[in-house]
Amino acid sequence: MSKEDYDIHRQKMIDKDRSTRFTKDVQILSVKEQRVEKRLMEMRDEIVQGDHSPLLLGFFDGKEIIQNSELHKFFKAMPKGGHLHVHIEASVAMETFMNFTKRDFVYYNMKENSLVTAPNGLDTPGFEKCNDLRLNWTQEGTFDEYLIGKLLLHADEIKSKESTTIWDSFQYKFMLNDAVIHYHEFYREGLLAYYRQAKSEGVRIVELRHASGIIFDDNHNYLSYKEEFEMYQSVIDEIHLEDPDFELRVIVVGFKVLGKEFVVKQLESYQFALRNGFDFVTGFDLVNQEDVTDPIYEFVDDMLAAKDGFSNFNFYFHAGESANTTNENLYDAILLGSKRIGHGINIAFHPHLLDLVVERNIGYEICPISNFILGYTLDMRWHPVRYLMSKGVAVTISSDDPVFWDYQGIDLDFTYAFLAWQLDLKDVKQLAINSIKQSSVSESAKKRILKLFYLDWNKFIDQALHSDYMGLDH
């Protein structure tokens, strides 16, 4: 074989390999985009410098460097399409949450590390109004600093790198803030605050995971399905007065840890929404740490029975959020027809399932920082998603529970992904496009939002070329 023939075969092999990559909607970059991409690569090299890379540091140390970089400013400004995997309890900004605790009917028990929202007053021993604690605080720092410290996950709580150990601390953060965020007035205010935050980040679609029957009123009575969904509808109506093009969707979740009875009630909640015209409720999911709770298979009978008779009953399962080769949740998620898969990182152990994901265009909700913090990838540079993207999986980026990791929104996940996975501008543009195409909004809404995205994107590229943070020759 001559060198010329060798080079021809070599190029064919390279082209064939690259042809499966997930960037099917972004074949070429414009001249302007090429200029931006060249500078992005330089900015990455400036941050990732061998042994001094922030990717080699503990998350909370590396985060400080990355958040303060010029590169992060780029991703803060970038249009991102949709945010498809987010739990509202862990996503309302810490500042907003702390403002809730400044209402004069929120109480805290320091000994039990427990919050209570009691509009009609509380005389339970050990609980004091947060505002009284603020006023009479004698410990080091302020009460707010103390409480925020209890709500955040800390470096010493994730140092083991063992998922089960980390989850023990992580789950307690939800237990602490639920008593505040689930009060109906705060929940509504939190939804509006989160919408405005998402819009400021260039997000046009948000899909929230929501469990029915946990939002309570002034008398600590839980809202009915009807009352909950009417509250959501009123929030959506208010959002559309500000921005008619913003889309908010809800995926009902069953907590596996609470057993079949709770899961069945959540299935009934989803059925209620479908029967009563609450079109923003678009799917069902099962959550909780997969390696210590019942698998999806244990609930198959209930879910098949609930789905029977509905043509628009959709699943969006958390599945494969595990480093365990014996985890079989992906089999059931795919067999049940899940439209997207949350996390799903152990699909690398299942080549046949990976082929099905590509063949059926099942979206993948990847949460880079969450996977790193919870111990599912010990080095973000070797996250399995790099392989999934090369195989053509419709990957999207989400943040999962950012407030507990001491940031908000989705910007930082994009920045980490770009740095750790050696992405280019085609890749990040495709990630945003995927988040629109893989969303649960109607096809007409997808087309409308895609048009808006391309307008936003072109405007963003023009602005980036003339921005100080890119440092290009204007």
pLDDT of residue 52: 80
Count other Cβ atoms within 10 Å, centred on residue 13: 10
Which residue do the tokens 């507990």 mark?
Answer: 404
Which residue do the tokens 């469990």 mark?
Answer: 211
pLDDT of residue 6: 94
State the Cα torsion 84-89-91-94 to the nearest 10°.
180
pLDDT of residue 135: 97
Strand partners, 285: 253
CA distances from 292 to 66, 156, 165, 295 (A): 33, 22, 11, 9
pLDDT of residue 32: 96
In a domain, 113, yes or no: no
pLDDT of residue 474: 53
Enclosing domain of residue 257 = 73-93+190-458
Q: What is the mean pLDDT of residues 370-388?
A: 94
Terminal Cα distance for the chain, rounded: 50
Give 410-429 pLDDT, tens digit per residue: 999 999 999 999 999 999 99
In a domain, 224, yes or no: yes
pLDDT of residue 51: 74
Q: Which amino acid is at 407?
A: Y
In a domain, 260, yes or no: yes
Average pLDDT of the chain, as a whole number: 95
Q: What is the mean pLDDT of residues 373-386?
A: 93
**DSSP run (H or E) holding 316:** strand 316-319
In order, the DSSP letters of 297-312 are GGGHHHHHHHHTT-TT
Strand pairing report for 340-343 and 363-366: parallel
pLDDT of residue 473: 65
In a domain, 147, yes or no: no
Give 270-329 pLDDT, tens digit per residue: 999 999 999 999 999 999 999 999 999 999 999 999 999 999 999 999 999 998 989 999
Distance between CA atoms of 50 and 64, rounded to whole angstroms? 18
pLDDT of residue 1: 86
The model's confidence at residue 189, banded by pLDDT at 50, 70 and 90, is very high
Q: Which amino acid is at 60?
A: F
Helix (DSSP H) and strand (DSSP E) numbers for the chain: 20, 11
In a domain, 385, yes or no: yes
172 pLDDT more than 90: no
SS3 (DSSP) at 366: strand
SS3 (DSSP) at 286: strand
440 pLDDT more than 60: yes
Give 451-466 pLDDT, tens digit per residue: 999 999 999 999 999 9
In a domain, 18, yes or no: no
Distance between CA atoms of 7 and 256, rounded to whole angstroms? 55
In a domain, 61, yes or no: no
Which residue do the tokens 């299942």 mark?
Answer: 350
CA distances from 334 to 92, 98, 297, 319, 350 (A): 31, 40, 12, 9, 12
Give 336-365 pLDDT, tens digit per residue: 999 999 999 999 899 999 999 999 999 999
Strand partners, 204: none
**DSSP run (H or E) holding 296:** none
If one counts the domains in the chain, the total is 1
Distance between CA atoms of 69 and 63, rounded to whole angstroms? 10
Question: The CATH number of the domain where 204 resides is what?
Answer: 3.20.20.140
Strand pairing report for 114-117 and 106-109: antiparallel
In a domain, 391, yes or no: yes
CB 245 within 8 A of CB 448: yes
